[in-house]
Amino acid sequence: MRCNREFWILLLGIAVLLPVTTATGKKIEPELSEEDRQHWAFQPVNRHHPQSVKNAAQVRNGIDSFILAKLEQEGLTLQPAAERRTLIRRLSFDLRGLPPTLEEVSAFLEDDSESAYRDLIDRFLASSAYGERWGQHWLDVARFAESDGFEHDFVRKEAWRYRDWVIRSLNEDMPYNEFVEMQIAADELYPGNEDKAIATGFLVAGPDMPDINLLEERAHTVLNEMTSTTGLVFMGLTLGCAQCHDHKSDAVSQADFYRMRAIFANMDFPAKNKQLNHTFVETDATAPSSFLMERGDFRRPGAAVSPAFIRVANPMAMEVHPNSEKGRTSGRRKALAEWLTDPEHPLTARVMVNRLWQHHFGRPIVGTPNDFGVLGDRPSHPELLDWLSSELVTRNWSLKDMHRLMLLSSTYRQRSKGVGDAWRVTVETDPDNRLFSRMNRKRIEGEAIRDALLAFSGRLNRKMGGPSVHPPLPPEVAITLLKKQWEVSEDESDHFRRSIYLFTRRNLRFPLFDVFDRPDANASCGIRNVSTTAPQSLTLLNSRLSLQSAQYTAGKILESGSSDFSDWVGSCCQRIFSRPETPEELEVGIGFLNEQAELLKAEGRDPAALAIPLGTFGEVDPYEGAALTDYCLALFNLNEMLYLD
């Protein structure tokens, strides 16, 4: 049950307008200047009207108007739409993190109705795989892991419950304002409801050191990390820079930081060597006194501070009011949740639509998703950012509606590559694609690579939820671990669950994910690094996962009963790339299969030692079958498998 905003948020505005002082009356923070307030991210969201453009025929919705207006200023226009096979593959990975099935591709190509593309989006959004795909994006931001980190890296046995809550909430299209509020204060919004309180696992998802000697130091470290992450995730502000001194670039004082931290100060901390609860737990309704910690030292409490919101991000002048209702919590986090989701908040909606845009278009509008401050990137399309932000609020904070809006645009449907003079001019004029003059090619993440390999081979286990699983690790990794640090799941079918259900350890990333740039979960990751390294190729060529996936994929190809190499090549391209083979690929593929089979025979290999196809199919020549396995493995390593056009 939500409380009345005027009742709960009445106190904070006065508190944030008064500078904190010492006992002698000396100010310990600067007053906000007009220049501080003028930074673009602190300005009210302005609902700009889509602009008129010359190429109006390319406009499908407001997004295209904003993008085209800037393109036309540079003498450019939107690229033609990508072909339908490219679009369904792009949509499938974007919304589900999985390749489209052969049946889905065929049905989409045969559907020539005007609503075919929209219907496809709706089907993918309705899939349970949507929550799993976008849940991983959120878990990156939320620095989710299932262990404490640091030296001992103790396992958090109930942490998976927060992961499942995120997936479930996204699949149900929980309004984003509620999604935020639940993670900050579900226990205060729904007292006594343990199922809803799981959402507050966000607050305690960060690293912790249970064996630290001083409880005061542990509390200081955890509360600082919690406050910093809340700023990064929901506001795109690097509040953590103000733990020890006033922020060097943003108008956030050290007192701002500790006033914000005071909102969480009533947290119940367990004794030494006891882990944090998997949800946020308060001691009672009476919050302790809070202080500014001089130089960020927990042993040097300075001026007393009252809980309050960040001044420069609070043009609404909202306040935290003490909880006047009888209960076991202070009500401070409820006030914070309502402040963050107030429609007039300048940051919350902007930050989230920027994250959605980033994952769909390959780069965000604000290039630093976790930093909307002075040192962060300025938006490439500020009017579009504000329009999308206002759309999110207008559409009752529905994330699925925002996905639909972005995906239906002509901007999203653009091709990513072309030829001719017009294409050359486009690339020369917009080399970094900051104007979105074409679709960005996107490399899929390690989790999507693994899930795709399992899907191609027919082994993907779509079971949802529950405790995380431990598939086998490469022997060279397993021998380095302590006893019981990675106990392989007994049920072999669990080894093929989707990647989001693999156990997430802070001090040990799953090898495939590690080489493909998965963040370490010790801090919020707004945008993943995308590297190109030799270990990536070595892993895809030599790992047990790749080889077995190639064997089972080859087995799927053989289920047709055909022994014709041309059929094998065509089936491989359809299954892995969602398209038919080209004449050149057919010639090269047949040549490879013939030469590889002859080579294996000439070497006198024992058929039992060959990487023959696996699965349920009829008889096949072992050397030809092994050649097919090698062909599948080669296709797994092509750019077309790893990138979306």
At residue 1 the predicted structure's pLDDT band, cuts being 50, 70 and 90, is very low
Q: Indicate whether 43 belongs to any domain.
A: no
**Looking at the predicted structure, is the pLDDT value of residue 212 above 70?**
yes
pLDDT of residue 284: 85
Q: What is the pTM of this model?
A: 0.94
Name the percent of the chain lying above pLDDT 90.
Answer: 89
Distance (Å, whole) CA 186 – CA 198:
8
521 and 605, same domain (yes or no): no
- 207 with 282, same domain? yes
372 and 503: one domain?
Answer: no
pLDDT at 20: 53
For residue 604, give the amino acid letter: G
DSSP state of 79: P
Contacts of 556 by beta carbon, 8 Å cutoff, 6+ apart:
456, 457, 458, 575, 615
Instruction: Report, as an integer, the average pLDDT of 467-494.
Output: 92
- As a whole number, mean pLDDT of residues 222-231 equals 98
Residues 194 and 272 in one domain: yes
Please check whether residues 184 and 276 belong to one and the same domain. Answer: yes
With bands split at pLDDT 50, 70 and 90, how would you rate the model's confidence at 9? very low
Same domain, residue pair 316 and 459: no
Q: What is the CA radius of gyration of the chain?
A: 27
Element (H, E) at 122: helix 116-126
Distances (CA, A) of 447 to 204, 258, 478, 516: 24, 37, 20, 9
Residue 358: the pLDDT is 98
Q: Mind listing the pLDDT tens digit for each residue in 267-277?
A: 999 999 999 99
Rounded to the nearest 10 degrees, how much is the dihedral formed by the CA atoms of 237, 320, 315, 43?
A: 30
| Average pLDDT score over residue span 89-116 | 97
**84 Cα distance to chain centroid:** 26
Q: Do residues 343 and 393 touch, judged by C-beta distance below 8 A? A: yes
Beta bridge partners of 453: none
User: Higher pLDDT residue, 480 or 429?
Assistant: 429
What is the distance between the alpha carbons of residues 53 and 256, in angstroms, rounded to a whole number? Answer: 44
Three-state SS at 108: helix
| Those residues with Cβ within 8 angstroms of residue 279's Cβ, 6 or more apart along the chain or in another chain | 187, 194, 197, 198, 200, 201, 204
At 481, the pLDDT band (50, 70, 90 cuts) reads: confident
pLDDT at 210 over 70: yes
What is the mean predicted confidence (pLDDT) over 533-550? 96
Q: Is residue 36 part of a domain?
A: no
For residues 294 and 225, state if they share a domain: yes
Cα–Cα distance between 210 and 214 in angstroms, integer? Answer: 10
95/362 Cα distance (integer angstroms): 14
- What per-residue confidence (pLDDT) applies to 286? 87
Give the DSSP H or E segment for 90: helix 84-96
Structural domain contains residue 146: no
Q: What is the average pLDDT across 333-357?
A: 98
**What is the C-alpha separation between 386 and 349, in angstroms, rounded?**
9
Q: pLDDT at residue 357 above 60?
A: yes
**Residue at token pair 């343990």:** 194
Q: Which domain holds residue 235?
A: 5-24+175-340
In the predicted model, what is the mean pLDDT of the chain?
A: 94
So what's the pLDDT on residue 618? 87
Asked if 213 contacts 389 with a C-beta cutoff of 8 angstroms, the reply is no
Q: Please identify, among 307, 340, 373, the residue that sits at the C-terminal boundary of a domain.
A: 340
Same-domain pairing of 234 and 307 = yes
Kindly state whether residues 180 and 322 are assigned to the same domain.
Answer: yes
Find all residues with CB under 8 Å of 80, minimum gap 6, and list them. 414, 415
Q: Tell me the C-alpha distance between 244 and 481, whole Å.
A: 37
Domains: count for the chain: 4
CA atoms of 159 and 358, how far apart (whole Å): 27
Last residue of a domain, one of 340, 371, 400: 340
Residue that finishes a domain, picked among 323, 340, 357: 340
pLDDT range class, residue 440, cuts 50, 70, 90: very high
- For 209, residues 6+ apart whose C-beta sits below 8 A from its C-beta are 148, 149, 150, 151, 218, 221
At residue 305, φ and ψ (nearest 5 deg) are -130, 150
Residue 244 or 21, more confident? 244
| pLDDT value, residue 26 | 57
d(CA 70, CA 615): 53
* Among 240, 230, 338, 330, residue whose Cα is nearest residue 288: 330
SS3 labels along 246-272 = CCCCCCCCHHHHHHHHHCCCCECCCCC
Q: Are residues 283 and 234 in the same domain?
A: yes
Work out the average pLDDT over 223-240.
98
Per-residue DSSP letters for 367-429? S-TT--STTSPPPSSHHHHHHHHHHHHHTTT-HHHHHHHHHHSHHHHB-S---HHHHHHHHHH
The two three-digit tokens of residue 212, written as one number: 């630290």
Q: Are residues 227 and 241 in the same domain?
A: yes
What is the rounded CA–CA span in Å between residue 287 and residue 85? Answer: 58
- Residue 37 in any domain: the answer is no
Whether residue 377 lies inside any domain: the answer is: yes
Identify whether 626 is part of a domain: yes
Same domain (yes/no): 15, 100: no
> Residues 29, 253: contact at Cβ < 8 Å?
yes
Neighbours of 58 (CB within 10 A): 21
> Is residue 2 scored above 50 in pLDDT?
no
Confidence check: pLDDT of 304 > 90: yes
Q: Residue 13 above 50 pLDDT? A: no
402 part of a folded domain: yes
Asked if residue 48 belongs to a domain, the reply is no
pLDDT digits (tens, 9 = 90+) for 556-578: 999 999 999 999 999 999 999 99
For range 633-638, the mean pLDDT: 97
**pLDDT value of position 261:** 98
